[in-house]
């Protein structure tokens, strides 16, 4: 009797931002997760918001083209006091979502607390604690220059950990599904 091949998928995780966007890619084969890539897109030197959003879109598309992920997981916007910062973060997330949805890749959103809880077991973990746990889980030694890279990677790992659980997550298979589910956001 032939053994069934372990299911394999590639997950692109994105921590959206308009100064620095972090990303991480993992390959999941059954229960095993391996690191493919992680990095950041720096945009602090750009003054124009349109150029920042264009950079996010193009980088997301190039990662999709290079790694052909099966899904994209994003950190959901958190609620803060500064409306302008929230608006910019929402736009950054929307542009990354648009890139994935434009090529029919399903997207998933996770709250920052859920990501930290999933990776470290503590929803209040620091960025440094998340990075340290990822280094252990994925067995890499070098510490990225920016913790935004490990934040993006944490989103991908969080999604990988959700595979067999009935945990709450939002998924959209395309623009129509996203628009239908988010009527209030589109007005």
pLDDT digits (tens, 9 = 90+) for 77-132: 777 778 888 888 899 999 999 999 999 999 999 999 999 999 999 999 999 999 99
Percent of the chain with pLDDT over 90: 65
Cα gap 78→119, rounded to integer Å: 18
Within 8 A by CB and 6+ apart from 8, the residues are 27, 28, 29
75 is in an annotated binding site: yes
Six-digit token string for 18: 């308009």
Mean pLDDT of the chain: 86
47 is in an annotated binding site: no
58-68: b or e for each residue (b if 16 or more CB lie within 10 Å)? ebbbebbeeee
181 is in an annotated binding site: no
Average pLDDT over residues 37-52: 93
Unique residue bearing structure tokens 């007005």: 187
Q: Is the distance from CB of 94 to CB of 75 less than 8 angstroms?
A: no
* 3-class DSSP assignment, residue 107: strand
Q: Which domains does the chain have, with CATH numbers?
A: 8-180 (3.30.420.10)
Q: Is the distance from CB of 18 to CB of 43 less than 8 angstroms?
A: yes
Q: Per the confidence metrics, is the pTM higher than 0.75?
A: yes
Q: Which residues are catalytic?
A: 15, 75, 148
- pLDDT range class, residue 175, cuts 50, 70, 90: low
Cα gap 124→28, rounded to integer Å: 26
How far the first Cα of the chain sits from its last, in Å, is 56
Cα gap 136→54, rounded to integer Å: 34
């Amino acid at each position: 009797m032939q053994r069934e091949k372990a299911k394999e998928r590639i997950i692109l995780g994105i921590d959206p931002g308009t100064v620095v966007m972090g990303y991480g890619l993992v390959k999941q084969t059954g229960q095993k997760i391996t690191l493919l890539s992680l990095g950041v897109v720096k945009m602090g030197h750009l003054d124009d918001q349109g150029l920042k959003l264009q950079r996010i879109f193009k980088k997301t598309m190039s990662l999709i083209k290079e790694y052909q992920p099966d899904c994209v997981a994003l950190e959901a916007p958190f609620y803060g006091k500064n409306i302008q910062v929230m608006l910019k973060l929402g736009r950054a997330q929307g542009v990354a979502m648009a890139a994935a949805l434009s090529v029919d890749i399903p997207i998933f959103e996770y709250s920052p607390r859920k990501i930290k809880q999933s990776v470290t077991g503590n929803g209040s973990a620091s960025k440094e604690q998340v990075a340290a746990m990822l280094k252990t889980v994925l067995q890499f030694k070098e510490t990225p220059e920016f913790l935004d890279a490990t934040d993006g990677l944490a989103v991908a790992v969080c999604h990988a950990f959700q595979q067999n659980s009935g945990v709450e997550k939002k998924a959209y298979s395309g623009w129509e599904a996203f628009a239908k589910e988010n009527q209030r956001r589109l007005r």
